[in-house]
Amino acid sequence: MRYAYALTAALLLGGTAASMTMQPPAGAQTAQNEPGTIAAAAPRAGAPMSFADMVAKLQPAVVNISTTQSVKVQQSNPFAGTPFGELFGGMQGRGGGGAPVTREAQSLGSGFLISADGYVVTNNHVIAAGSRTATVDSITVTLTDRREFKAKLIGRDPTSDLALLKIEGANLPFVRFGDSTRARVGDWVIAIGQPFGLGSTVTAGIISAVHRVTGAGADRFIQTDASINQGNSGGPMFDLNGNVIGINSQILSPSGGNVGIGFAIPAESAKPIIETLLRGKTVQRGYLGVGIQPITSDIASALGLPGNRGELISRVEPGEAAAKAGLRQGDVVVGVAGKDVTPDQTLSFLVAQQAPGSRVPLDVLRDGKRQTINVTVGTRPSEDELASLTGGDDDDNGLPDEDSGNVTPGAATLGLQLTPLTPQIARSLGVDNTVRGVVVVSADPSSDAAANRGLQRGDIISSVNRAPVTTAAELSAAVTAARSAGRDQVLLFVTRARRGGIYVPVKLR
């Protein structure tokens, strides 16, 4: 312990540590001689004792961005539920409340100059309206020397959360994009921004991960422990050469404050998007038109596949690229244009990199056999168009009761009671009339299907281990076949109104 403590003290003393020679206790074996020991390389030179000189040069190019927004707010009736409620509503010209009122709101964020004539990069969410009832009236860019400029929106790309602004100026300080593909876990990075409206703030840390997928699917992020908070959005992440290798965009925090997990859009992704916006073009991405699920350990076990490889197609949109090429629900895509589909390199990400209209080979597993399917890639719809894909009503009035003669406990090994899906039940559940399968009438609360997988009354099961089922007997037969094959779980395709269909692995009882 004394040896370890002395070494730590020497490192903390900075300059004196280099001149000290530490000897291990007598008889101790050195790390180099221990069999199997990993010998770490010496740290690369270049990390300064202070970042002050570098920050002094970079800070003037980092700006504060503020927006003024008009928000329509519906007035509430403060006397609702009292004898004066009706009178107040009548005075406002409405039965239950007042007329909408327009109020002013503001948002704050960060950005950085990329040219001497005033082009500014930031996050789209920094300059976007805060709600559907809001409109952005003006955008103001403030430099570190307190000069203010009204900014013009040149272009935005909501999918990547990037936006490009322009202010009128000359000989402005600016920074350049670097090569984020060379970034490694453990490299020093510096974040500069305007957290909580405090003014220009500098934080430093290391890269915690590269190619981190946070759920967006089509994009990957650099993760850092450099302190990033509200207001840092849109600000730059610098390497030690003073180049922008990331744009601070998100944090992961249960409290809303920094807990050491922040995410930046890599320069390798951001630079081509910004160049497209500079040309006045709209960013286009490749699109298949499928719903996908990762191959979890449970799904891999149910299908007899290796885990952490490929993604499962849960839905094929009619008329889109995947449907035209012959991809099917239940196919597992393991490669795109020669690149493996992995948790760090998702199907969405790889397809998004393909030019719309290009012909791309997909490596697919279908019924356990590998094949190549060539797809002419489509164009990804806008975020609003994608969000408009909704389901139907959750009403289950067409379902029979558990003690009805139409209910078959044919899936007892899963803890489910089922009934055939009739056109009447399909209408009452709000699902498309092309859906086929059996409907869950009840689920045993102690079963894996209900307790851990969330199956519930009204769910429609269309297949078991990718084999279609339309009756409880077919489902039971498929479950029995899986058990005979030595599998301890099956993969159900489940459709629920407003959610669409997904694959759900369920353990056998």
What is the three-state SS of 194-260? Answer: CHHHCCCEEEEEEEEEEEECCCCCCCCEEEECCCCCCCCCCCEEECCCCCEEEEEEEECCCCCCCCC
Residue 277's pLDDT is 96
Question: What is the domain class of 58-166 according to CATH?
Answer: mainly beta
Between 309 and 222, whose confidence is greater? 222
- Residues 248 and 223: their CA atoms lie apart, in Å, by 10
Q: Answer whether residue 150 shows pLDDT above 80.
A: yes
Looking at the whole model, is its pTM more than 0.85? no
Distance, CA of 120 to CA of 140 (rounded, Å): 11
Predicted confidence at residue 89, as pLDDT, reads 57
Classify domain 408-507 by CATH number.
2.30.42.10
DSSP secondary-structure letter at 308? S
Token pair for residue 341?
């589909």
502/189: higher pLDDT: 189
The tokens describing 277, both together, are 């916006």
Q: Rounded CA gap, 202 and 227, in Å?
A: 9
Lowest average pLDDT, out of 93-102, 231-240, 294-303, 414-423, goes to 93-102
Phi and psi angles of residue 57, each rounded to the nearest 5 degrees, phi first:
-80, -35
Active site residues: 125, 161, 233
Indicate the average pLDDT of the chain: 81
Share of the chain above pLDDT 90, in %: 41
CATH code linked to domain 180-278: 2.40.10.10
> What mean pLDDT is predicted for residues 306-313?
83
Separation of alpha carbons 203 and 326, rounded Å? 51
> Would you give the distance in Å from CA 85 to the centre of its chain?
45
C-alpha distances (whole Å) from 13 to each of 17, 146, 260 are: 6, 39, 25
Q: Tell me the helix, strand and coil percentages in the chain, rounded to 5.
A: 20, 35, 45
Which overall architecture, per CATH, does domain 286-387 show?
Answer: Roll (2.30)
More confidently predicted of 304 and 313: 313
Alpha-carbon separation of residue 320 from 227, 290, 350 (angstroms)? 43, 8, 17
93: Cβ contacts below 8 Å, ≥ 6 apart: 99
The Cα–Cα gap between 453 and 414 comes to 11
pLDDT band, residue 17 (cuts 50/70/90) = very low
- The label of the residue with tokens 């077919």 reads 474
Alpha helices for 254-369 (secondary structure H): 267-278, 297-303, 321-325, 347-352
Residue 473 pLDDT class (50, 70, 90 cuts): confident
Contact 350, 338 (CB under 8 A): no
Spatial separation of the C-alpha atoms in residues 272 and 380, rounded to whole Å: 17
d(C-alpha 126, C-alpha 139), whole Å: 10
Residue 388 pLDDT grade (very low, low, confident, very high; cuts 50, 70, 90): low
pLDDT of residue 487: 85
Integer-rounded Cα radius of gyration of the chain: 29
Q: Delimit the domains of the chain by residue range.
A: 58-166, 180-278, 286-387, 408-507
45 vs 259 pLDDT, higher one: 259
458 and 395 Cβ atoms separated by less than 8 Å: no
Identify which has the larger pLDDT, 256 or 226: 226
8 A C-beta contact, residue 190 and residue 203: yes
Using CA atoms, how far apart are residues 234 and 127, in angstroms rounded to an integer? 10
**Is 80 exceeded by the pLDDT of residue 68?**
yes
* Mean pLDDT of the 488-501 span: 82
